[in-house]
Amino acid sequence: MTAPLADRIRPQTLDEVVGQRHILGPDKVLRRIVESGSIPNLIFYGPSGVGKTTVARIIAQTAGKRLFKLNGTTASTADIREVVAECDTFGGMNGVLLYLDEIQYLNKKQQQSLLEFIENGQITLIASTTENPYFYIYNAILSRSTVFEFKPVSAEEIAPAVRRAFGAMERELGYSVAVSDEVVERIALSCGGDVRKAVNAVELCALAARADGNGNYAVALEDAEQVSQRSANKYDRAGDEHYDLVSALQKSVRGSDENAALHYLARLLEAGDLLSPCRRLLVMASEDVGLAYPMAAVIVKSCVDSALQLGLPEARIPLAEAVVLMCTAPKSNSANLAIDAALADVRAGRGGPPPRCLQNKHYDGAEVEKKGQFYRYPHDYPGHWVEQQYLPDSLRDRVYYTFGDNKTEQMAKSYREGVQRKKEG
């Protein structure tokens, strides 16, 4: 038993694959493509352990073409050239099917070396990746392939696979192993939608099963918990899981759902990532709460400073305070929209010199017909406001900021309008 259990009992047909009913169920697109017998270039995208490699192998076995397998983590340019060379041999006369696992690890030049042969149909590519293919795969290959997304498998779908895996272990070990529903549920829930992880946990549990005085073996719940601990928290600081969790945290705060926001914060902290939520919380205070409650920026900064000084696990407390504060605070993105609008004008080349009254002028040249800067100091006027032009001439009527409909910004709007009315009167 050298290979992991997940490899030893890998499904051999599409019906045996756990999950992915949205693409492999009866009359679903991918299943119909496979059953047609005419296999296009395919890219399978999704997290580890959800069936990408298994489905690719099943398709390759039934394709009727000469099969080559490469892994992006170990494949060299020479390996790719060897596959390409087979296209012109007798064995490759019906075409070559290349199964390329972890394609994201191939560089652009390596991926380009396949392009001509994918284009003319001599090579059919089935590739799998755990990273977003639109970021990591060469665009020319993407345009010639169909991308299917594989999703994490639900605990309900994994539970039967866990029971089958225990049955396989019993056959290999040669004796029965008692497994409670609680053990099956624990493994199914804790694997984070990763079937391979669940099956490998089954193998460890079966090997560690204890015998009672009568020689009967059973898996203890505490052993299942120990084997599967923290495995549900799938996380990669440089991968999609990281960005998905950080994005979910901010969108939950923006949506005023403190329970969801605390959940995603907990997942980040449990993975040992303190810096990412700290940085994102500082952004949220200005981007999402903004001028509806300006003090949020000050309070969140204080909470973040405390968290960074405390470190984990105590850092969770001030960060939770910041999350709940922002979730329950009024929201405004008016400042964010205003600066984006101003930046759009600047990047488009709209502008010009500031009005003369705002320039740092201490003298007038001979070319200036009307001498003087003519700047009016607002503090010298009632209400500390006076009408004068501030924007460049080409943008003098441009409006970037619109007062939000929250209490704080409406109070500021009323103050502004009141001062202006007094001047007009």
As a whole number of angstroms, the distance between CA 188 and CA 41 comes to 33
Note the helical H segments in 105-154.
108-112, 115-119, 133-136, 139-143
Tokens of 316: 């969770």
| pLDDT for the residue numbered 237 | 55
Note the helical H segments in 216-349.
221-228, 240-254, 258-270, 275-284, 295-310, 316-328, 334-347
Instruction: Say if residue 81 is exposed, middle or buried (CB neighbours under 10 Å; 0-12, 13-18, 19+).
Output: exposed
Strand partners, 211: 217
Report which residue type is found at 323: V
Report which residue type is found at 234: K
Tokens of 188: 């199914």
- 167 Cα distance to chain centroid: 36
DSSP 314: T
User: CB–CB of 396/386 below 8 Å?
Assistant: no
As a whole number of angstroms, the distance between CA 317 and CA 312 comes to 9
| pLDDT for the residue numbered 229 | 63
Buried b or exposed e, range 339-360, using 16+ CB within 10 angstroms: eeeeeebeeeeeeeeebeeeee
User: CB–CB of 45/147 below 8 Å?
Assistant: yes
- Residue 199's φ and ψ, nearest 5 degrees, are -65, -40
As a whole number of angstroms, the distance between CA 15 and CA 24 comes to 8
Residues of the chain with pLDDT under 70: 1, 88, 90-94, 229-240, 361-373, 422-425
DSSP 409: H
What is the DSSP secondary-structure string of 323-340?
HHHHHHS----HHHHHHH
Of the candidates 128, 131, 142, 104, the residue with the CA atom closest to the CA atom of residue 51: 128
User: What domains can you pick out in the chain, each with its CATH number?
Assistant: 20-149 (3.40.50.300), 155-228 (1.10.8.60), 240-328 (1.20.272.10), 353-424 (1.10.3710)
Pair type for strands 210-211 and 217-218: antiparallel
345 by DSSP, 3-state: which? helix
Sign of CA dihedral 401, 351, 360, 372: negative
Residues 6+ positions from 149 with CB-CB distance below 8 Å = 23, 45, 46
Tokens of 345: 């004008």
| pLDDT for the residue numbered 135 | 81
| pLDDT for the residue numbered 93 | 65
As a whole number of angstroms, the distance between CA 267 and CA 273 comes to 9
User: CB–CB of 322/289 below 8 Å?
Assistant: no
| pLDDT for the residue numbered 300 | 96
As a whole number of angstroms, the distance between CA 131 and CA 414 comes to 51
Of the candidates 154, 155, 149, 106, the residue with the CA atom closest to the CA atom of residue 130: 149
| pLDDT for the residue numbered 420 | 78
Strand partners, 45: 129, 149
Please identify which residue in the block is written with the tokens 């994201």.
104
CA angle 380/383/388 to nearest 5° reads: 65
Strand spans (E) along 64-178: 66-71, 96-101, 123-129, 146-149, 177-178
| pLDDT for the residue numbered 328 | 94
Of the candidates 421, 5, 11, the residue with the CA atom closest to the CA atom of residue 205: 5
66 by DSSP, 3-state: which? strand
Please identify which residue in the block is written with the tokens 């779908």.
157
As a whole number of angstroms, the distance between CA 24 and CA 21 comes to 5
Q: Would you call the peptide bond into 294 cis, given omega within 30 degrees of 0 as the criterion?
A: no
| pLDDT for the residue numbered 238 | 55
| pLDDT for the residue numbered 65 | 73
